[in-house]
Amino acid sequence: MSTKLKYCFILFTIISISACNVTRVVPENNKLLVKNKIHRGDSKGVDLSDEGDNLKQKPNRELLGFIKFHLWAYQYGNKGLGIRKKQPWLRRLAEKIGEAPVLVDSNKMELSALRLSDYYFSKGFLDNKVSYDVKTKRFLKKRAIVSYNVNLNNYHVINTVEYNATSQTIELIIQKHLAQQKIKVGQRLDLENVESERNRLTDLLRNNGFYYFNSSYIDFQVDTNQNKLKADIVVNVRNKKNYEPHFQQKIDSVIVQIGDGLLLDTMYKGIRYLESDYHIRRSVLEKNIAVHPGDLYDASKVQRTYSNLLNLGLFNFVTIRFRPSSNDSSNLVVAEISLQTAPKHDFIWEPQAITTAQGDGIEAGSERNFGIANTISLNNRNVFGGAESFNLRSYTAIETQLKSDNQGTFTNFRQSVTAEFVLPSLLFFNKKIWSEGLTRKSTKFNTSYLHDRNINYTRNVIPFNFIYSFTKDRFSFGITPFRVSINQSAVEEDFLLSLDASTRFYTTQLLTNNLIAGPTTTVFWSNKDKDKFKYFSIRSNALELSGNLLNAYYTIFTEKTGINKEFLGVKYSQYARSDIDVAFNYVIDENNAVASRFYSGFGLPYGNTRFLPFERRFFVGGGNSLRAWRPRTIGPGSFSDSTSSVSIEKTGEIVLQANAEYRFDIIDKYVDGAIFLDAGNVWNFEDDINFENAEFKFNRFYKEFAVNSGIGLRFDLTYVIFRVDWGIALHDPSYLEGQRWVIKDFFANRWINDNSAVNFAVGYPF
C-alpha cells in the first residue's frame, strides 16, 4: 500500500471513530435524537412519501450516511475539546461548520404528531390517529429513537361537487370550463386538489376579464356527515364586501413608457408610446404586446407580454401596472407598461477554468472548454431599431496535461472567433397563426472561424448556420434548416509515419478535408417548474442530416457513383446522427440529493461517406463523462492499443453512457461533496481491421462498459460552482476479458497514479 493511501485510510478511520463519540456534548438527563420512525398501516395506494417533512425535529446531519461530521465539528469547536489554544483558526472553522446536538424535546414531538395528523387529514384520511413514544438505545443510553404510531383508517371520497356563483356571467364561465376542474366525483378527497381548484377558478376568472378578482372570494364547504366516508363539496364564489358584485373589466387604453425621458409622444395601432432617446420601432413592440384597447382583461396575456418583452433582450426591467380609467372606474382599466432599457453595448470578459464537454465544431458557440480558457464578447443591442442584436465573441483555450503513462505532455490549443446576428422573430413565419402561441422566438445567423491544434494534427472549421429558436410550454426547440461547415484538417507527417499502414489509412480518412451540409433539430424539455425536488430534463439533438441534397444532385444530374464525391473541390459528408441526454434529480432534503443521467447516441455514415466525420463522432472520458479517463482515451468497444507506442484518439459511431451522483452538504452554502459512479463506452457499427472488437455486438456490449467511481468537492463561489472530481477506474474494457476488473489491483504499487484522474471543472457534470 502506498504511503499516501495509508495516510488517507488512517485519517478516515480516526474521523469515523471520533464521529461516533459525539454524545460528550449531550447534557445530563437529555437524549440525542438519532432517528425518527413512522409506523403506519397500508396507505391504500396514496403517496405519502413526503410525510417526514412534517416532523419538527430531525436528527443531526450525517456525512456519507453514517458520520455525524457536523456534530463532531461542533463538539471540537464550540466546546474546544481536543483543540489546543495555539490552533484558534481550526476552532473557528469548526464553530462555523458545526451543528448543535438535536435533543429529544417533548413539545416538538407533540407538535410533530399534530402536523402529521394534519398532513394525513389533507390527504383524505380524516379519521387518522397519531401518537408517539421514545425508545432509548440499549447500550447507548444518551441516544434515542422517536417513533410515531399512525392509524390512518380509510380515506374519504368525493360524492358530489356543486358550484354556486352570485353572477350569471361567472356561472357560465365556470360551466364552460368544467372539463378542467381539479376535483371530481369519485376522487379521493385531497386538500391539495381543493387548493388547485381554487387557483384554477381564480386564474380562469382573471383570464376572462375579472381584474379585481382574487382567491379570497372562493370558499369550499365540505360535508362528511351525510354519507360514510364520502364528502359533498360546495364551491362558493362570493361577492365583494358589502355584497358588491364582480364586474368584468375591459382595457380602455395602453400606455408604453420607454426609458425615463420623454422626447416623443405618439400613437401606433391604438397604443400610446412615450419615448426617450432610445429608439425602437413601434411595430416590433406592438407584435410583442398582447394586451390591446377594447380587449377584456386577460392575466395570461399580461404574462405573455412580460415574457415577450423581456425575451427581446433590450430591457433590464419590464413593469406592467393597471389603474382604473377616468372614463369608467368600475368597468375600464388603463394598462401602463414601463420599459427600462439596457445599455446598447456590452463588453464581457470571462476567464474560465477547465471543463470538458463534447464539442460540436459546427454550430458556432458550442465550444469544448479545456484547461485555461478566455472568452471576450461584444454585444450590440437594437442594431437597426428593431430589437436585432449583433454579437462578436473571441474564445481562446489551452490545455496541458502531464501524463502518467510515459507519453510526456499533451497540449491542445483552440481559438475561435464567432459573429452572430439575431432577429427577435421567426423570419418568414412570424405572421402564421401557429406561431402566436410560441415564446422566446428568434432567428439567428451565425458564422465563425475555429482553429484547433494539438501535437498530432491541426483543424480549421468554418461553419455557417441559419437557426430558428422558440419555446412552447416546457419545450424549447432549435431548428436549423440551413447549415454548412467547411472542415480542413492537416495531420503531422511524423505522427503518420509512426503509425502502421492500416491505422495510417484510418487516420487520414478520419482527419480529412470535408464539407458538412444539412438540417438539424434540437429539443430541450424539463418539468422542474412542476416539482423542484423530483424532476427530469431531456436534451436531444433529435435529428441531424448531412449531404443528402448534394447527393441527390449527383444522382439526378450526373453519372458519378461511389464514394468521396466532391463539391467545389471538397468531399461532402453524408450521414444521419441523433442523440439524447436524460437527467433526473431527486432532492432528498436540504442536505442530500441524488442526480443521475443517461446519454445515448448514434451517427450512421452512408452514401458518400465511409467514416463519420471527426467532428460528429462520439467519445467518452473527461470531467463530464467517465472521470477516471481523459477525453478520447477509452474504446471503441474492447479495442486496445497497448501494443503500440503511439496512442491515437478513440471515438465511435455509437455511445452509451450512464452517470449517478450522491450529493451531500459538507459546509452549508459553501462546500458540497459527491460520490459518483460512471459507466459507458463508444462503438462502431461495422467491423474495422484497424480496430479489433470495436463494433457493437448485442452478445458482448454489456461486457465492454468502462466503469469508474470516485469522490468530489463542489465549491460554491456565489456566481459559479467550482468542481474537483477524483475518478478511480473499476472496469477497463481495453484489457482481456477476465482481467477487466482492474480495481482488484488497487493496492499495487503506483496503481492509483496509473488508474485515476483528477478533474477540475466549472459547474455540475450533469
**Cell numbers at 350, concatenated:** 470571462
Give 294's Cβ-side CA count (13 Å radius): 3
In a domain, 692, yes or no: no
Peptide bond into 245 cis (omega under 30): no
The more confidently predicted of residues 644 and 316 is 316
Per-residue pLDDT for 708 more than 60? Answer: yes
**Cell numbers at 269, concatenated:** 395601432
For residue 238, CA distances in Å to 73, 160, 243, 329 come to 57, 20, 8, 21
Place of cell 455514415: 605
Q: What is the dihedral of CA 510, 513, 517, 522, to 10 degrees?
A: 50
In a domain, 333, yes or no: yes
Residues 620 and 631: their CA atoms lie apart, in Å, by 6
pLDDT of residue 64: 67
Residues 745 and 277: their CA atoms lie apart, in Å, by 72
pLDDT of residue 89: 63
Per-residue pLDDT for 488 more than 50? Answer: yes
In a domain, 598, yes or no: no
**Closest CA relative to residue 11, chosen from 62, 60, 69:** 69
Residues 201 and 180: their CA atoms lie apart, in Å, by 10
**Cell numbers at 461, concatenated:** 472549421
Residues 18 and 128 in one domain: yes
In a domain, 353, yes or no: yes
Residues 619 and 370: their CA atoms lie apart, in Å, by 15
Residues 224 and 329 in one domain: no
The more confidently predicted of residues 80 and 665 is 665
Q: Which range among 136-150, 369-383, 417-431, 683-697 shows the weakest confidence by mean pLDDT? A: 369-383
Residues 18 and 121 in one domain: yes
Which phi and psi (to 5°) does residue 23 adopt? -85, 5
DSSP letter assigned to residue 156? P
Residues 635 and 601: their CA atoms lie apart, in Å, by 15
**DSSP state string for 377-430:** EEEEESTTSSS-EEEEEEEEEEEEEE-SSS--EEEEEEEEEEEEEEESS-TTTT
Share of the chain above pLDDT 90, in %: 50
Place of cell 469522490: 711
Residues 33 and 122 in one domain: yes
Query: In Å, how far from its chain's centre is CA 632?
Result: 25
**Closest CA relative to residue 603, chosen from 539, 650, 651, 654:** 654
Residues 73 and 126 in one domain: yes
pLDDT of residue 764: 86
Q: Kindly indicate the confidence band of residue 606, based on its pLDDT and cuts at 50, 70 and 90.
A: very high
Quick check: 585 and 535 in contact, CB under 8 A?
yes
**Cell numbers at 130, concatenated:** 397519531
Q: What is the dihedral of CA 201, 202, 205, 208, to 10 degrees?
A: -110
Residues 256 and 333 in one domain: yes
User: Which residues, listed in sequence order, are joined to residue 315 by a DSSP beta bridge?
Assistant: 341
Surface-to-core class of residue 750, CB atoms within 10 Å of its CB (0-12 exposed, 13-18 middle, 19+ buried): exposed
State the distance between the two ends of the chain, measured CA to CA, in whole angstroms: 34
Place of cell 420623454: 262
User: Which residues, listed in sequence order, are joined to residue 399 by a DSSP beta bridge?
Assistant: 412
DSSP letter assigned to residue 447? E
**DSSP state string for 630-686:** -TT-S-STT---TTSSSPPP--BSEEEEEEEEEEEEEETTTEEEEEEEEEEEEEBSS
pLDDT of residue 406: 44
Residues 239 and 143 in one domain: no
> Which CATH number belongs to the domain containing residue 206 in this structure?
3.10.20.310
Residues 381 and 261 in one domain: no
Residues 218 and 325 in one domain: no
In a domain, 604, yes or no: no
Residues 205 and 326 in one domain: no
> Last residue of a domain, which of 114, 135, 151?
151
Quick check: 574 and 605 in contact, CB under 8 A?
yes
In a domain, 359, yes or no: yes
Q: Which range among 112-116, 376-380, 594-598 shows the weakest confidence by mean pLDDT? A: 376-380
Residues 290 and 320 in one domain: yes
Give pLDDT tens digits for 69-100: 777 777 766 655 554 454 666 666 666 677 78
User: Which residues, listed in sequence order, are joined to residue 660 by a DSSP beta bridge?
Assistant: 596, 677
Give pLDDT tens digits for 4-16: 455 455 555 545 5
> Last residue of a domain, which of 151, 173, 193?
151
Q: Which range among 176-180, 604-608, 689-693 shows the weakest confidence by mean pLDDT? A: 689-693
Quick check: 380 and 389 in contact, CB under 8 A?
yes
For residue 658, CA distances in Å to 122, 171, 705, 726, 766 come to 39, 53, 10, 17, 11
Residues 190 and 314 in one domain: no
Side chain identity, residue 140: L
Q: What is the pTM of this model?
A: 0.80
In a domain, 555, yes or no: no
DSSP letter assigned to residue 127? T
> Last residue of a domain, which of 115, 136, 151?
151
Into how many domains does the chain fold?
4
Residues 668 and 73: their CA atoms lie apart, in Å, by 13
Q: What is the domain extent for residue 403?
A: 344-472
pLDDT of residue 576: 96
In a domain, 293, yes or no: yes
Give pLDDT tens digits for 357-413: 333 333 333 344 445 667 888 999 999 989 999 999 998 877 654 444 444 445 678
